[in-house]
Chain A
Amino acid sequence: MKDSIKIRVKDLTLIFGKRKKEALRLLTKGVSKTEILKKTGCTIGVDRATFDIKDGEVFVVMGLSGSGKSTLLRCLNRLIEPTAGEVFVNDDNITKKNNKELLEIRRSGMSMVFQNFGLFPHRTILSNIGFGLEIKGVDKKERLIKAQEAIETVGLQGFGEQYPNQLSGGMQQRVGLARALANNPEVLLMDEAFSALDPLIRSDMQDELLDLQKKLQKTIVFITHDLDEAIKMGDRIAIMKDGKIEQIGTAEEIITNPQSEYVEAFVEKVDRKTIITAETLMFKKYVTCLYAKDGPKGVLRKMREASVEVLPVIDENHKFKGFIWLNDVLSTQEEGKTSIMDTVKEEVPKVFPDCTVEEMMPLTTATKSPIAVIHPETGRLLGIISQVSIMIEATRFDKKEIIDLKKQSKEQ
């Protein structure tokens, strides 16, 4: 079931120190963290985090070290006991569970993957993977079968009898992942799972996890300090700073509409080309010409009113037909034709709304035409994108600079 809420976190707060109650009272009163530290000696690890995670979603929590992201994650399975607030999984209040119920949740509902793998060096790979089942009391035969399944899921067949230190970092983390998957949990908690790996291997593992996720459809809470990783992995991203969640949204939402200076500074360096999509960039209040209805005169009038040299043409179902240029309309008029049907250029660039700027860039080289954004199924025109706006996104120059550059190139 998509879009149903799997994990609900409400006002989750974690305070380090002895006078927690007093610190909490001050915090809810709105006293600053430095003031709380001065008065009570307590530091705030997580400050009233509230968010929902959807079923089957990869939810990334991103922040620099010390932002409280790993602490937040550990509050979800109560490896760290939260000071206040609530965590619901499937509307079941985790924070109210007694020890026995909590063990049950850790054994069956939530598994965790660690930055430094957290493998047991004295156990073979198979026995590492079967650990969760072993402590649940699953008998040896079934354990081996399930561990073997998990080992195949992560592509480590044949390594079952080896020991962790005989494997490379990437392979060790596959073991970590397999151990988490062997319990068949609904929720995977991944704490900087790929941060300790070499860049190339990290990228491979990211791809593999995404592939795996397509099949498994787990709910994944993924912690990272790397924005590029967050953008690649996350269906939605929460950005954390000093224990507080600054913003939650899709990568594109966060990049196009950062809600605080911190987030803005963070996303500034991001390669926007790969994230900004046609949907965000397109101009929606465009003037259109009707394919079978409008004549040259009408088109010219529309062009004059909008003061443009080119207009999109659609049919009676709002389906995109092509673009029409001012010069072509003028010659059609001189020829005395009353229909524009032959004048419309139908061989023009068209994209779907989820197409990124990077993907659109090649389209700008062959032609001067604007790009039409159409609905993937119906072919309806959704918006148009000018070449200049693609250039602005790709180069981060402002509009005037681009127009100047264009003029210069024409003069040469």
Chain B
Amino acid sequence: MEKIIDLGQYVAMFVNWLMDFGRPFFDFLKNSGNGFIDSIEWVLTATPFYVVILIFTLLAYFKAGKGVALFTVLGLGLIYMMGFWNDTMVTLALILVSTITALVLGVPLGIWAAKSPKADKAIHPILDVMQTMPAFVYLIPAVLFFSVGKFPGAVATVIFAMPPAVRLTTLGIKELPKDVIEAALSCGVTGTQLLFKVELPLAMRTISTGINQTIMMALSMVVIAGMIAAGGLGEQVLAGINNLDIGLGFESGLAVVILAIVLDRITQAFGNPKDKINNK
């Protein structure tokens, strides 16, 4: 079919202009970002594997129960024995950095959208685009601005994983019972007091679900980011595909699944504390 409008051309022009104009800025971002990722990666890889497994198992045991703890110790042990420990830690470091960044940006945005209908109106369609755009597409601008490597991988991951953090923060605050908010207001709270003493603590459960979703999406994107040399399990999966190596594909895929389940169960448990407060 013939092209009538060449939208792609204009986007390319804009991106090119931005690249020339913002080069020093992007370089600065890349360097500091890489520093952050590397330091976390260093902590995770330098710590002996059994210590990392122990920490995760203890977390699982106290927050999510015996079953999850057992799964954690067996699953992570299997990853180590399959020889994917280092790759897994690299992936985990990317997930941690991306998730933290997504939350630092996403939660305040979510609060803003909950408080201001105008902000909500502006943010909502952007989130829609971010969530429906095929994940690979994010890799293109990330590579253009930051070339290949871990940092562009993290950037693409942040963009992809942020929407649930924003959405569920907004939802958590908006769905709070009106009378509780009114009760707080009638006591004479300031806006800040309302947010930190009432809204955020009460919305925490929903926000935790958002955090859990963000982590899950970050994991899936980090694997895809293997395509731009972000390293870790993604690169192993990619190698499996490229070489039609069924064995490698299965093993690396299994490592991703194990990591996903462990992270999911533990973060979910943080959202559903076993105390009586949230029984309602």
Contact = CB atoms under 8 A, between A and B. Distances in A.
B132 interface: no
Interface in A83-102: 102
Contact of A118 (B183, B188, B277): B183
A141 B258 CA distance: 49
| The 10 nearest A-B residue pairs measured at CB | A118-B183, A106-B188, A107-B188, A112-B186, A118-B179, A132-B187, A103-B188, A114-B179, A116-B179, A122-B201
Contact of B185 (A79, A104, A115, A163): A79
B182 interface: yes
Interface in B180-198: 180, 182-190, 193, 197-198
B189 A135 contact: yes
B118 interface: no
B279 interface: yes
A386 B90 CA distance: 98
B173 to A, nearest CB: 14
Contacts of A116: 177, 179
A120 B179 contact: no
B177 A183 contact: no
B280 interface: yes
B182 A114 contact: yes
29 contacts: A79-B185, A103-B188, A103-B189, A103-B190, A104-B188, A106-B185, A107-B188, A111-B187, A112-B182, A112-B183, A112-B186, A114-B179, A116-B179, A118-B177, A118-B182, A119-B180, A120-B180, A120-B183, A121-B180, A121-B277, A121-B278, A122-B202, A122-B277, A131-B187, A131-B197, A135-B188, A163-B277, A176-B183, A189-B186
Contact of A79 (B180, B186, B197, B276): B186
Contacts of B278: 121-122
B193 A135 contact: yes
A120 B198 contact: yes
A178 to B, nearest CB: 13
Given A106-B188, A107-B188, A163-B277, A119 B193 contact: no
Nearest to A106: B188
Nearest to A109: B188
A370 to B, nearest CB: 53
Given A121-B278, A131-B197, 16 more contacts: A74-B182, A103-B189, A106-B187, A107-B188, A110-B186, A112-B186, A115-B179, A117-B179, A118-B177, A120-B202, A121-B180, A121-B280, A122-B202, A131-B187, A136-B188, A165-B280
Interface string B187-228: 111100100011001100000000000000000000000000
Contacts of B276: 163, 165-166
Interface of A: 74, 77, 79, 102-108, 110-112, 114-122, 131-132, 134-136, 163, 165-166, 176, 179, 183, 189
B99 to A, nearest CB: 25
Interface in B80-135: none
B183 to A, nearest CB: 3
Contact of A119 (B183, B189, B190, B201): B183
B95 to A, nearest CB: 29
User: In this complex, which of B184, B185, B193, B279 has the most chain A Cβ atoms within 10 angstroms of its Cβ?
Assistant: B185
Nearest to A128: B183
Contacts of B185: 79, 106
B187 A79 contact: no
A111 B190 CA distance: 16
Nearest to B183: A118
A135 B195 CA distance: 12
Contacts of B183: 112, 114, 118-120, 176, 179
Nearest to B280: A165
A176 B177 CA distance: 15
B179 A135 contact: no
B204 to A, nearest CB: 8
A118 B279 contact: no
Contacts of B182: 74, 79, 112, 114, 118
Given A135-B197, A165-B280, A166-B276, A121 B202 contact: yes
B179 A183 contact: no
Contacts of A117: 179
Contacts of B280: 121, 165
A80 B71 CA distance: 54
A131 B279 CA distance: 21
Contacts of A179: 183, 187
Contacts of B201: 122
Interface string B248-280: 000000000000000000000000000011111
A106 B189 CA distance: 9
B160 to A, nearest CB: 32
A165 to B, nearest CB: 5
A360 B7 CA distance: 91
A115 B280 CA distance: 18
Contacts of B184: 120, 131
Contacts of B188: 102-108, 132, 135-136
Contacts of A111: 186-187
B186 A77 contact: yes
Contacts of A102: 188
Given A122-B201, A166-B276, A106 B180 contact: no
A165 B162 CA distance: 34
A135 B198 CA distance: 11
A292 B179 CA distance: 69
A132 B189 CA distance: 8
Given A116-B177, A122-B201, A135-B197, A107 B277 contact: no
B221 to A, nearest CB: 33
B65 to A, nearest CB: 23
Nearest to A110: B186
Contacts of A119: 180, 183
Contacts of A135: 187-190, 193, 197
Contacts of A108: 188
A114 B187 CA distance: 12
Nearest to B185: A79
A274 to B, nearest CB: 32
User: In this complex, which of B197, B202, B277 has the most chain A Cβ atoms within 10 angstroms of its Cβ?
Assistant: B277
B53 to A, nearest CB: 34
A108 B187 CA distance: 8
